[in-house]
Structure 1
Amino acid sequence: MPAKSKKQQMAAGAALSAKRGDRSKASLKGASRQMVESMSKAELEQMACAKRSELPTRKRAN
């Protein structure tokens, strides 16, 4: 599932970096901290690879 907003994509990228070991898990905050615990590496890669130009800055609340 690709990201639905730029913020979500950036959080997924930070979580993926921590999952790979490039960044410490303690440095994560908010959504990225939850993502690293609840999502697999493949799910994070898929979410982080969305084209940023096609995404809104924030997802609208329904």
Structure 2
Amino acid sequence: MPATSQAQQKAAGAALAAKRGEIKKSELKGASRDMYESMSEKQLEEFAETKRKGLPSKKS
């Protein structure tokens, strides 16, 4: 399932980095923290790999 906004794609990328140990979980805030706790690494990969071109900045 692809991300529906640029903000969602960025949050998924941050959560994915934390899942992989590239950044600390304590550095996450808001949506990225929720995504970290509720989604698998595979789900986060699907959201994070979405191309930003053509996506709205925020989901309406």
TM > 0.5 fold call: yes
Please give the root-mean-square deviation of Cα atoms over the aligned residues, in Å.
Answer: 0.5
More helix by share: 1
- Normalised by the size of structure 1, how large is the TM-score? 0.94
Which ranges of structure 1 fall in alignment gaps of 5 or more residues?
none
- Normalised by the size of structure 2, how large is the TM-score? 0.97
Which ranges of structure 2 fall in alignment gaps of 5 or more residues?
none
Q: How many residues align?
A: 60
User: Kindly, what percent of the aligned residue pairs are identical?
Assistant: 60
- Residue in 1 that maps onto 2:57: 57
- Residue in 2 that maps onto 1:37: 37
Which structure has the bigger radius of gyration? 1
Stretches (4+) displaced over 3 A: none
